[in-house]
Amino acid sequence: MQPLDTILKRLAQVDARPNAVVSLYLDARWNDEQQRERARLTLKRAVADAIQGLHSFPREVAESLERDLARAEEHAMSVIKQRRDVGFEGIAAFYCEAKGLDMIVLSHATMPTKLHVGPRPEIWPLARFANDFEIALVAVVETDETRIFEVALSGVLAEESVEADVPDRVQRGGWRQLRIQKHIADHILHHHQQAARELCARFDGISAGRGRAPRVVLGGREPMLASLERTLPERVLMRAIRSPKIDPKGSTSEVLEQVREILALAVRRTQSELIHLAKEAAAVGRGALGVAPVIQAANAGRLWQLVVDERFQKEGSRCTRCDLLFSQSFAESCPACAGSVEAVSLRDELTRRAVLVGADVYAVDDSGELANCEGVAATLKY
């Protein structure tokens, strides 16, 4: 499986003109048939609208695009109608017969249900997932058992229990008790080392698969929690949030409820830190606040971290000759080379340019801190 960053960069490089790319996103978290029906109707209307727009393409292009739309619809309906069990809550698919593009990305992240047709793949929802902080590893430690979860804010992805045969403690005094207690301590240490190896293996696996390290939540009572921490390497501890309040005897649902609260708080804190960092960087020329400065930095390839409000929906223009991006949405020609221009979503185009230069893209929601920055900010490479 390719890392998500690699997939994003490949998609960001696609320019299908004079053809088009069909981008499909599907939220497959259904609790009842009504939710399935709403998803079916949403996509059916989107496909019908796209087919109505085929007359604007040359005949050969329109025929190829119609086949791509049929493939997207068939895949979505097979999932909605349960003919295909993918086992994932978020599905993204990209089709362009003319460019040989046929890609499906499965995730446990929250995806919108939508369909987009354009000269480039719509990668904003996927780029948002790459840094949305939803996935985390959780280790809940006890004397003889450590439960390890891969979780998202939406639920459990995987669960494993690492157990050890630890002798019961004795109550008699004297040297025999001391020797036995040392024997028990050795068993506990061995168990925690075994649990640490399993946790590290999952940590490294997720890091390789997503191109970035997951968050880690460590729970359980002291001194067991501290014992597990002592066996973990620095790379894991640097991403860890410790919570002695998580009950190791709690059910999976009880543990997950506490973990969701911890992760949600971490997300809000990190979002605020990102915005604050961009503002501090802007004061010394290493940040950009607002549409025009961020576009200027994107044109220069300087983006390092792009922070975008979920509600940011501004339109702009891109030169089809020199690729210059600018904020005017009704420009007649490029101000730099007088070339022809096309209208673009600034959110999508800034995301694409950020991905191409290896910058991280972060989505923030309900952020008053970004309001005075027109909904977009960035820290810069140099």
Q: How confident is the model at residue 174 (pLDDT cuts 50, 70, 90)?
A: very low
Q: Residue 152 has what pLDDT?
A: 62
| Cβ contact 250:257 at 8 Å | no
Three-state DSSP class for 96? strand
Q: What average pLDDT score do residues 216-244 get? A: 92
Q: How confident is the model at residue 166 (pLDDT cuts 50, 70, 90)?
A: very low
User: For the stretch 330-346, what's the b/e string if a residue is b when 16 or more beta carbons lie within 10 angstroms of its beta carbon?
Assistant: ebeebeeeeeebeebbb
Q: Residue 170 has what pLDDT?
A: 42
Q: Which of 306, 273, 139 is nearest to 215 (CA)?
A: 139
Measured over the CA atoms of residue 259, residue 265, residue 267 and residue 269, the dihedral's sign is negative
Q: What average pLDDT score do residues 220-248 get? A: 91
Q: Residue 177 has what pLDDT?
A: 47
Q: In what order do the strands lie in the sheet with 287-289?
A: 287-289, 376-380, 303-309, 360-364
How far apart are the C-alpha atoms of 113 and 38, rounded to whole Å?
10
Mean predicted lDDT score pLDDT of the chain:
86
| CATH architecture assigned to 136-250 | 2-Layer Sandwich (3.30)
Q: What average pLDDT score do residues 220-237 get? A: 92
Q: Residue 217 has what pLDDT?
A: 93
Could you tell me where the beta strands, DSSP code E, fall in 166-259? 215-220, 240-243
Q: Above 60 in pLDDT, residue 154?
A: no
Residue 187 backbone class (left: φ over 0; alpha: ψ -120 to 50; beta: rest): alpha
The string of pLDDT tens digits covering residues 70-80 is 999 999 999 88
Q: Above 60 in pLDDT, residue 310?
A: yes
How far apart are the C-alpha atoms of 224 and 218, rounded to whole Å?
11
Q: How confident is the model at residue 182 (pLDDT cuts 50, 70, 90)?
A: low
Q: Above 70 in pLDDT, residue 131?
A: no
Percent of the chain with pLDDT over 90: 54
Q: Above 70 in pLDDT, residue 158?
A: no
Q: Residue 184 has what pLDDT?
A: 65
For the ranges 121-135, 231-245, 347-361, which has the lowest average pLDDT? 121-135
Q: Residue 167 has what pLDDT?
A: 47
Q: What average pLDDT score do residues 44-63 get? A: 94
CA-based R_g, the chain, Å:
25
| CATH code of the domain occupying 268-382 | 3.30.1330.30
* Fold designation for 1-132: 3.30.960
How far apart are the C-alpha atoms of 191 and 292, rounded to whole Å?
56
Q: How many residues does the chain have?
A: 382
Q: Above 90 in pLDDT, residue 81?
A: no
Q: Residue 140 has what pLDDT?
A: 92
For the ranges 4-8, 54-58, 137-141, 239-243, which has the lowest average pLDDT? 4-8
Q: Residue 150 has what pLDDT?
A: 82
Residue 338, phi then psi, degrees to nearest 5? 65, 15
| Cβ contact 368:271 at 8 Å | no
DSSP string covering 247-264, please?
Answer: -TTS-HHHHHHHHHHHHH
Element (H, E) at 329: none
Q: How confident is the model at residue 160 (pLDDT cuts 50, 70, 90)?
A: low
Q: Above 70 in pLDDT, residue 162?
A: no
Q: Which of the pair, 1 or 325, is modelled with greater confidence?
A: 325
Element (H, E) at 24: strand 21-27
Q: Which of the pair, 131 or 95, is modelled with greater confidence?
A: 95
Q: What average pLDDT score do residues 301-306 get? A: 96
Q: Which of the pair, 288 or 178, is modelled with greater confidence?
A: 288
Q: What average pLDDT score do residues 295-322 get? A: 94
Q: Above 80 in pLDDT, residue 306?
A: yes
Contact residues for 112 (Cβ-Cβ < 8 A; gap 6+): 25, 27, 125
**Domains of the chain, residue spans:** 1-132, 136-250, 268-382
Q: How confident is the model at residue 369 (pLDDT cuts 50, 70, 90)?
A: confident
